Amino acid sequence: MIISFQNQKGGVGKTTLSVNIAHALVLSGFKVLVVDADPQGSVRDWASVRDSRPPFQVIGMDRPTIHRDLPSMKDNYDHVVIDAPPRVSELARSAILASDMVVIPVQPSPYDVWAAKEIVTLVQEASVYKEKIKSVFAVNRKIANTAIGREVKEALQTYALPVLDAQICQRVLFAESAAVGKTVFEVSPDSQAASEIESLKNEILQHYE
């Protein structure tokens, strides 16, 4: 499966989810490739500060031909995770066309709900050419023990796309692990952050199946 984390609004946590979900897949026994399709190169920067090789292969492919170039590479992996660019562009469209599933991270705020319209439109346009693309929302950076996570889920349902039940809370561990080029599974495998990522990974796989 090719999974892309897409949102035209920056700062929603695409890179954080990409590397952590990729590692969760590796820990489940899968061989995983992570494609950094963001010209900012966030995943590549993450990998460069590590003191050891990442638990998955990382490549840069920030060009609008991903949908043509990736198929020849994906056969060597069980899953491919794409960290997509944060704006409407030919590059974003190409990443969507390459995908089997588009995961749209959304922070629990009205601004993020409104901004989601652009990426939903892009996915709908791509589905004309690739009918089997699946797309889901994932609530990210929820403030724990607040009702706003439930409220954003209700608000997102206006887009007629599934909203995953698994939600990722705003946790310092995500920033701390990213700063040293690691995932939450490497820094604190028994943490709530790791448990949330594991739940999200499981639900993504269930939706694909």
Predicted local distance difference test score (pLDDT) of residue 87: 75
Residue 160 within any structural domain of the chain: yes
Residues 171, 145: Cα–Cα separation, whole Å = 13
Read off the CATH number of the domain in which 118 is found: 3.40.50.300
SS3 state at 34: strand
Report which of residues 156 and 198 the model is more confident about.
198
Residue 103 within any structural domain of the chain: yes
| pLDDT digits 0-9 by tens, 39-76 | 999 999 999 999 999 999 999 999 999 999 998 888 89
Predicted local distance difference test score (pLDDT) of residue 157: 83
Among candidates 69, 12, 9, which has minimal Cα distance to 37?
69
Predicted local distance difference test score (pLDDT) of residue 147: 67
181 lies in which domain range?
A: 2-204
- What is the number of structural domains in the chain? 1
Predicted local distance difference test score (pLDDT) of residue 88: 64
Report which of residues 9 and 187 the model is more confident about.
187
Kind and range of the H or E run holding 203: helix 192-208
pTM, to two decimals: 0.94
Residue 39 within any structural domain of the chain: yes
Mean pLDDT, residues 163-174 = 95
Give yes or no for a contact between 105 and 9, defined as CB atoms under 8 angstroms apart.
Answer: no
On the CB side of 42, how many CA atoms lie within 13 Å of its CA?
Answer: 18
Residue 158 within any structural domain of the chain: yes
Report which of residues 15 and 85 the model is more confident about.
15
| pLDDT digits 0-9 by tens, 100-155 | 999 999 988 888 888 888 889 989 898 888 888 999 999 999 887 776 767 888 88
Residue 209 within any structural domain of the chain: no
